[in-house]
Amino acid sequence: MHARRGSRTTIDTDAFTRAGERLEGTLRPGDCSRLRELLADDRGELRWSLRGERRRRPEGGSDGLLELTLAGALQLPCVRCLEPVETAMDETRQYRLALTEAQAERDDLESEDVDVITGGQNFDVLALVEDEAIMALPLAPSHAACGLPVDLPDAGPAAEAAPEAPAERPNPFAVLERLKRGPQ
Ligand SMILES: [Zn+2]
């Protein structure tokens, strides 16, 4: 993946974590082919933020750590009616950096609390963000009420607390916006 629109998309993970740097951006479905394949349409976006830090090891030396947060909403196909359903996402993930892929794989098996990934001088931040966005997608998104007859008199408080299916009716302004933009 090459740098786009002048924004930085690769980092030197060693320098980034030593300086405690932070990098932020916005992921749009139209820019991410692997993510886009899983979505209902191009609407929505995820704001992301990546932060680096070093943590001292008890035995000496230090580990590079990355923390990634993702927040926003995307349109997923409803598993029942296949129409778009807006899906909010809010994820924080932490990683420990290893020098080589072999070391990352070995450490990842031993490490329960944090993922171990391979760092480097040309670490592709957007690929990491897209990977995490894909992994954070819910497996079976569906509308709270889907037009299908759902008659559950014994469903209890959980059913009563469900929102009144706002996603069923397309927002006229969103439709207008898409018409103005034309086919993509
Ligand atoms: Zn549905």
**What is the CA(113)–ligand 1 centre distance, in A?**
36
pLDDT interval class at 4 (50, 70, 90): very low
Question: pLDDT by residue (tens digit) across 106-140?
Answer: 888 887 778 999 999 999 999 999 999 999 999 99
**What is the CA(162)–ligand 1 centre distance, in A?**
14
Domain positions in the chain: 10-181
Is residue 38 predicted with pLDDT exceeding 50? yes
Residue 86 is predicted with a pLDDT of 95
Beta-sheet pairing, 44-56 with 22-27: antiparallel
The structure tokens 């607390």 sit at 161
Q: Return the higher-pLDDT residue of 81 and 155.
A: 81
Question: pLDDT by residue (tens digit) across 47-76?
Answer: 999 999 999 988 888 999 999 999 999 999
Of 183, 127, 146, 180, the closest CA to residue 2 belongs to 127
Give the up-direction half-sphere exposure of residue 133: CA atoms within 13 A in the CB hemisphere.
Answer: 34
Residue 137 is predicted with a pLDDT of 95
**What is the CA(80)–ligand 1 centre distance, in A?**
5
**What is the CA(147)–ligand 1 centre distance, in A?**
7
**What is the CA(92)–ligand 1 centre distance, in A?**
28
Q: Which residues are within 5 Å of ligand 1 (an ion), measured at CB?
A: 78, 80-81, 143, 146
Whether the pTM exceeds 0.75: the reply is no
**What is the CA(148)–ligand 1 centre distance, in A?**
8
Give the up-direction half-sphere exposure of residue 33: CA atoms within 13 A in the CB hemisphere.
Answer: 1
